[in-house]
């Protein structure tokens, strides 16, 4: 047997796109007027780099001399399959096979602004979030690829002196049927680069799609490198002379370093330096130990003797925050949505359902703890990062360094998960890494520095899904019709908000709910009393509103003797898309046929939940077994989804499976503060779903010709409520607060 280690070329999928190359590609071609800032590129380098990509008609498509296509992704690949979706769109319009397409991450640059986030924020930003990538790329990437194809076809037409319309393309070869002439793209690149860029290119008719929606021929572009260890994440990125930094954060949030004795740390062989990183209102900061080896840096951190100044630190715990929020939940808040007139009391024979719901802070806890590599050299800063908030992080780095944004280049690497964590409006860990690099430079340390958080740092200095207290009150008539719904949500805003303004994200899914409720009032309190940093977590406000809304609907159905499916149906008359998804999941799960009894006194039941989020409708039905000791397991999940055109059905299925698994963990986990410190530290006390809790999945995609919406987040919101509804149907208890834990009272 061959025993030699096989070394794959590191596949970071991103190496190829320095700013020079980006501009170089432009230089070879045609389209955009590019302003060249001095010191960034010069004519000689442009010319030489241009040769690598013989044809680059726009910012998104490059074709090299071998005919291989490179798609430039303005979005982060963090597992959600965006690179593959983009490759599918490009390959479709270019008429090339997927195997000829690779994807690289773009640099941070406003020319790669996210068109949907731009509409949301009212200014251009490049970032990945809100399940926007496929929706934003649907026209943009197809047009970019169709433009490239048209130029190549035009080049062939000119060569053969025939009409472009008389030509077809198969697998990257232009064919003139009448004469039998054929020519590959790779032989047309130079000609095409000389041609004008056509306007208003024709996109394919859906009837002609061969890759979009296909079950075969569209494998994920990143999978091979992710099965042999060659995929490069920030954790793996190395530069010559690089130092690794492990940082001691304040044990109480927002504490500051008063003094540090680093003598023992510096005595450890291999420790290169100790650097104090000043905290501010955006980063925790602390004291970092630098070494060439992560373990040595970590040992060094352990040997630091730090006296902390807690005068500005968070001092309270979750219980105090909950207590304050419970009080607010009883008081009128800012009105986010109001229609009709709320009913105070139930009409004769009617029913009132009222409850207070509490959900904890949650940590994203991606498998790759936060990290960031900063190479600061003179008037340039190169950042290597699983970059999800490209231009925001670039601006933050420039601000810290006193640079123009053009002096900061961001190199996008694969992210080992993120779930929203790496898209941070405070740019927290990037700021910390850049501040560290600046301070180290000022101490005379000339080396690239990679800041690496240990798991405990990631869990304790993280930014959390907001804790919420919600009070919800439903009034139903004697026939079980939901007449009035009053829903008040107390939680910190996801973004800094002007006083009195509504944070739409905090109330999303309540404000624009799926159901037709004649009298509705949604209010919010977004107190700033407690400075716990919060940020969106996969599916944002839906993480906390779906649990409340979807479990209370079941509670109301039980209280009024209605089937939860039929009760939902009765409120979806004006929402045919959601109704179709609900009907499909009911049909495919055999909702109307009870599950067979379990063995040995085990009870089994289905629970359902429905939620439209980010333009995509998802319904899950969970088949749950309740053991006699109160522990429970989800055996099987049936899912229906309408996300518009299904660009890549297998990626959609994978996101539904993974989204359910991510949401299922909400039943078990929570971040708790005590006296300003986070109690949880690692996967031992922050449980996440594992193999032995994994159900079987059966995902059904509604055929649709509507423009696509995202799939990365929408599988999450209905997961936990579907399971809680199944449990409640068996035990008769309604579950109002999370986490539930691994078992429930059985009677």
Partner 1 sequence: MITFTVNGSSHAFDGDPNMPLLWYLRDEADLTGTKFGCGIAMCGACTVHIDGRPVRSCLTPVASVDGRSVETIETAENHPIGKLVQQAWVEGQVPQCGYCQSGQIMSAVALLKTKPSPTDDDIDAAMSGNICRCATYPRIRAAIHSAAEKLAYEA
Instruction: Characterize the bridge pairing of strands 519-525 and 334-339.
Output: antiparallel
**Per DSSP, which regions of 643-731 are E strands?**
673-674, 677-678, 696-701
Task: For the segment 541-570, give every residue that binds partner 1 (CB under 8 A).
Answer: none
| Member of 219, 317, 531, 649 binding partner 1 (CB under 8 A) | 219
Q: Does 264 bind partner 1 (CB under 8 A)?
A: no
Q: State the nearest-atom distance from the C-beta of 233 to partner 1, in Å.
A: 6
Record the tokens describing residue 159, joined without a space: 């060569």
Record the tokens describing residue 482, joined without a space: 């939901």
**Cβ neighbourhood burial of 348 (10 Å; 0-12, 13-18, 19+):** exposed
Indicate the residue among 219 and 739 with the shorter CB distance to partner 1: 219
* DSSP 8-state assignment for residue 58: S
On whether the CB atoms of residues 731 and 744 are closer than 8 A, the answer is yes
Q: Does 647 bind partner 1 (CB under 8 A)?
A: no
Q: Does 600 bind partner 1 (CB under 8 A)?
A: no
- Contact code string over 384-423 relative to partner 1, x by CB under 8 A: ------------------------------xxxxxx----
Indicate the residue among 210 and 226 with the shorter CB distance to partner 1: 226
DSSP-assigned states of every residue in 590-638: TTTSPPPP-STT-EEEEEEEEEEETTEEEEEEEEEEE-TTSBEEEEEEE
On whether the CB atoms of residues 653 and 84 are closer than 8 A, the answer is no
From 160-168, 190-198, 403-411, 690-698, span contacting partner 1 (CB under 8 A): 690-698
| Member of 74, 88, 147, 235 binding partner 1 (CB under 8 A) | 235
From 47-55, 225-233, 277-285, 391-399, span contacting partner 1 (CB under 8 A): 225-233
**Per DSSP, which regions of 302-387 are E strands?**
305-309, 334-339, 351-359, 371-377, 380-385
Q: State the nearest-atom distance from the C-beta of 667 to partner 1, in Å.
A: 14
Q: What is the dihedral of CA 403, 404, 408, 409, to 10 degrees?
A: -170
On whether the CB atoms of residues 655 and 712 are closer than 8 A, the answer is yes
Indicate the residue among 389 and 567 with the shorter CB distance to partner 1: 389
Burial 608-618 (b: 16+ CB within 10 A, else e): bbbbbbbbbbb
**Per DSSP, which regions of 197-270 are E strands?**
243-248, 256-261
Q: State the nearest-atom distance from the C-beta of 5 to partner 1, in Å.
A: 3
Task: For the segment 93-152, give every residue that binds partner 1 (CB under 8 A).
Answer: none
* CA separation for the pair 458, 363 (Å, rounded): 9
Q: Could you count the other beta carbons within 10 Å of the beta carbon of residue 207? A: 5
* β-pair partners for 334: 524
Q: Does 295 bind partner 1 (CB under 8 A)?
A: yes
Q: State the nearest-atom distance from the C-beta of 476 to partner 1, in Å.
A: 36
Q: Report which of 648, 643, 585, 584 is spatially closest to residue 617, judged by C-alpha positions.
A: 643
Q: Does 498 bind partner 1 (CB under 8 A)?
A: no
Q: Does 220 bind partner 1 (CB under 8 A)?
A: yes
Cα–chain center distance at 113: 17
| Member of 137, 626, 689, 723 binding partner 1 (CB under 8 A) | 689
Q: State the nearest-atom distance from the C-beta of 651 to partner 1, in Å.
A: 8
Q: Does 180 bind partner 1 (CB under 8 A)?
A: no
Q: State the nearest-atom distance from the C-beta of 119 to partner 1, in Å.
A: 28
Q: Report which of 357, 366, 351 is spatially closest to residue 724, judged by C-alpha positions.
A: 357
Record the tokens describing residue 386, joined without a space: 């699983």
- Contact code string over 58-97 relative to partner 1, x by CB under 8 A: --------------------xxxx----------------
Q: State the nearest-atom distance from the C-beta of 246 to partner 1, in Å.
A: 11
Indicate the residue among 236 and 563 with the shorter CB distance to partner 1: 236
Indicate the residue among 69 and 244 with the shorter CB distance to partner 1: 244
On whether the CB atoms of residues 110 and 124 are closer than 8 A, the answer is yes
Indicate the residue among 367 and 707 with the shorter CB distance to partner 1: 367
* CA separation for the pair 126, 408 (Å, rounded): 15
From 4-12, 177-185, 470-478, 559-567, span contacting partner 1 (CB under 8 A): 4-12
Indicate the residue among 384 and 485 with the shorter CB distance to partner 1: 384
| Member of 55, 515, 662, 673 binding partner 1 (CB under 8 A) | 662
On whether the CB atoms of residues 432 and 283 are closer than 8 A, the answer is yes
* CA separation for the pair 387, 433 (Å, rounded): 13
Q: State the nearest-atom distance from the C-beta of 306 to partner 1, in Å.
A: 20
| Member of 228, 311, 331, 377 binding partner 1 (CB under 8 A) | 228
From 3-11, 173-181, 441-449, 567-575, span contacting partner 1 (CB under 8 A): 3-11
Indicate the residue among 294 and 519 with the shorter CB distance to partner 1: 294
Indicate the residue among 310 and 456 with the shorter CB distance to partner 1: 456
Indicate the residue among 254 and 419 with the shorter CB distance to partner 1: 419
Indicate the residue among 417 and 491 with the shorter CB distance to partner 1: 417
* CA separation for the pair 527, 334 (Å, rounded): 11
From 36-44, 47-55, 435-443, 681-689, span contacting partner 1 (CB under 8 A): 681-689
The count of chain residues that interact with partner 1, using the rule CB under 8 A, is 74
* CA separation for the pair 503, 182 (Å, rounded): 58
CA atoms 508, 591, 698, 97: torsion sign: negative
* DSSP 8-state assignment for residue 8: P
Q: Does 427 bind partner 1 (CB under 8 A)?
A: no
**Cβ neighbourhood burial of 236 (10 Å; 0-12, 13-18, 19+):** middle
Q: Report which of 743, 739, 737 is spatially closest to residue 668, judged by C-alpha positions.
A: 739
Q: State the nearest-atom distance from the C-beta of 378 to partner 1, in Å.
A: 27
| Member of 132, 147, 284, 365 binding partner 1 (CB under 8 A) | 365
From 228-236, 375-383, 513-521, 561-569, span contacting partner 1 (CB under 8 A): 228-236
Q: State the nearest-atom distance from the C-beta of 368 to partner 1, in Å.
A: 5
Q: Does 294 bind partner 1 (CB under 8 A)?
A: yes
Q: Does 688 bind partner 1 (CB under 8 A)?
A: yes
- Which helix (DSSP H) or strand (DSSP E) does residue 724 occupy? helix 719-731
Q: State the nearest-atom distance from the C-beta of 389 to partner 1, in Å.
A: 17
Q: Does 255 bind partner 1 (CB under 8 A)?
A: no
Q: State the nearest-atom distance from the C-beta of 127 to partner 1, in Å.
A: 18
| Member of 19, 158, 204, 292 binding partner 1 (CB under 8 A) | 292
3-class DSSP state of 420:
coil
Task: For the segment 433-462, give every residue that binds partner 1 (CB under 8 A).
Answer: 454-456
Distances (CA, A) of 61 to 24, 141, 330, 481, 601: 13, 9, 55, 54, 61
Q: Does 8 bind partner 1 (CB under 8 A)?
A: yes
Q: Does 710 bind partner 1 (CB under 8 A)?
A: no
Q: Does 216 bind partner 1 (CB under 8 A)?
A: no
Indicate the residue among 57 and 659 with the shorter CB distance to partner 1: 659
* β-pair partners for 383: 374, 410
* CA separation for the pair 121, 127 (Å, rounded): 11
Record the tokens describing residue 568, joined without a space: 């939902």
| Member of 650, 672, 679, 702 binding partner 1 (CB under 8 A) | 650
* CA separation for the pair 640, 209 (Å, rounded): 23
Q: Does 238 bind partner 1 (CB under 8 A)?
A: yes
Indicate the residue among 160 and 697 with the shorter CB distance to partner 1: 697
* CA separation for the pair 647, 653 (Å, rounded): 11
Q: Does 376 bind partner 1 (CB under 8 A)?
A: no
On whether the CB atoms of residues 376 and 437 are closer than 8 A, the answer is yes
């Amino acid at each position: 047997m061959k025993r030699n280690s096989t070394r794959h070329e590191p596949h970071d999928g991103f190496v190829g796109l320095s700013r020079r190359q980006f501009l170089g590609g432009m230089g070879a071609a045609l389209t955009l007027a590019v302003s060249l800032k001095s010191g960034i590129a010069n004519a000689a380098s442009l010319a030489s780099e241009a040769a690598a990509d013989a044809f680059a008609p726009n910012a998104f498509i490059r074709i090299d001399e071998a005919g291989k296509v490179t798609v430039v992704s303005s979005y982060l690949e963090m597992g959600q399959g965006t690179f593959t979706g983009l490759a599918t769109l490009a390959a479709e319009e270019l008429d090339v096979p997927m195997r000829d397409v690779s994807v690289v991450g773009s640099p941070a640059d406003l020319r790669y602004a996210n068109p949907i986030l731009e509409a949301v924020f009212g200014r251009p930003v490049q970032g990945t979030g809100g399940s926007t990538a496929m929706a934003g790329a649907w026209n943009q990437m197809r047009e970019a690829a169709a433009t490239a194809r048209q130029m190549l076809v035009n080049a062939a037409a000119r060569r053969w002196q025939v009409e472009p319309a008389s030509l077809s393309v198969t697998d990257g070869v232009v064919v003139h049927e009448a004469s039998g002439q054929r020519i590959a793209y790779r032989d047309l690149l130079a000609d095409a680069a000389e041609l004008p860029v056509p306007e208003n290119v024709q996109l394919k008719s859906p009837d002609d799609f061969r890759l979009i929606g296909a079950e075969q021929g569209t494998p994920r572009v990143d999978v091979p490198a992710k099965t042999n260890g060659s995929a490069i994440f920030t954790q793996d990125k190395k530069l010559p002379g690089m130092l690794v930094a492990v940082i001691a954060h304040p044990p109480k949030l927002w504490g500051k370093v008063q003094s540090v004795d680093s003598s023992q740390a510096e005595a450890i062989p291999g420790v290169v330096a100790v650097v104090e990183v000043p905290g501010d209102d955006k980063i925790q900061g602390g004291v970092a130990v630098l070494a060439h080896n992560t373990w040595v840096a970590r040992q060094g951190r352990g040997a630091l003797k730090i006296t902390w100044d807690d005068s500005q630190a968070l001092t309270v715990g979750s219980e105090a925050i909950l207590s304050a929020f419970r009080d607010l939940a009883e008081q009128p808040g800012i009105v986010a949505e109001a229609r009709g007139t709320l009913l105070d009391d139930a009409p004769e024979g009617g029913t009132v359902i009222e409850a207070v719901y509490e959900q904890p802070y949650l940590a994203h806890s991606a498998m790759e703890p936060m990290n960031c590599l900063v190479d600061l050299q003179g008037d340039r800063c190169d950042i290597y990062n699983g970059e999800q908030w490209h231009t925001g992080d670039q601006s933050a780095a420039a601000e810290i360094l006193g640079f123009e944004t053009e002096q900061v280049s961001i190199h996008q690497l694969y992210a080992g998960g993120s779930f929203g964590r790496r898209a941070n409006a405070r740019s927290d860990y990037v700021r910390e890494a850049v501040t560290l690099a600046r301070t180290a430079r000022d101490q005379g340390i000339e080396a690239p520095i990679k800041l690496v958080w240990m798991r405990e740092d990631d869990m304790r200095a993280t930014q959390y899904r907001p804790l919420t207290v919600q009070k919800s009150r439903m009034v139903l008539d004697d026939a079980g019709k939901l007449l009035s719904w009053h829903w008040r949500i107390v939680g910190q805003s996801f973004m800094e908000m002007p006083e009195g303004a509504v944070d739409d994200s905090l109330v999303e899914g309540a404000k624009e709910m799926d159901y037709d409720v004649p009298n509705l009032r949604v209010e919010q309190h977004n107190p700033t009393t407690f400075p716990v940093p919060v940020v969106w977590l996969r599916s944002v406000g839906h993480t906390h509103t779906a649990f409340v809304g979807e479990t209370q609907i079941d509670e109301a159905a039980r209280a009024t003797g209605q089937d939860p499916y039929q009760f939902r149906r009765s409120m979806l008359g004006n929402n045919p898309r959601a109704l179709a998804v609900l009907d499909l999941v009911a049909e495919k799960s055999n909702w109307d046929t009870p599950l067979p009894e379990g063995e040995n006194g085990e009870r089994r039941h289905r629970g359902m939940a429905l939620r439209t989020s980010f333009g995509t409708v998802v319904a899950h039905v969970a088949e749950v077994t309740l053991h006699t000791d109160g522990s429970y397991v989800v055996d099987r999940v049936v899912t229906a989804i309408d996300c518009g055109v299904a660009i890549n059905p297998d990626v959609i299925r994978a996101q539904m499976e993974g989204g359910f698994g991510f949401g299922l963990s909400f039943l078990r986990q929570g971040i708790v503060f005590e006296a300003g410190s986070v109690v949880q530290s690692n996967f031992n006390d922050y449980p996440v779903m594992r193999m032995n809790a994994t159900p079987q999945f059966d995902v059904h995609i509604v055929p649709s010709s509507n423009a696509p919406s995202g799939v990365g987040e929408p599988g999450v919101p209905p997961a936990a409520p579907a399971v809680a509804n199944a449990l409640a149907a068996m035990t008769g208890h309604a579950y109002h607060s999370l986490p539930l834990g691994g078992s429930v009272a059985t009677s």
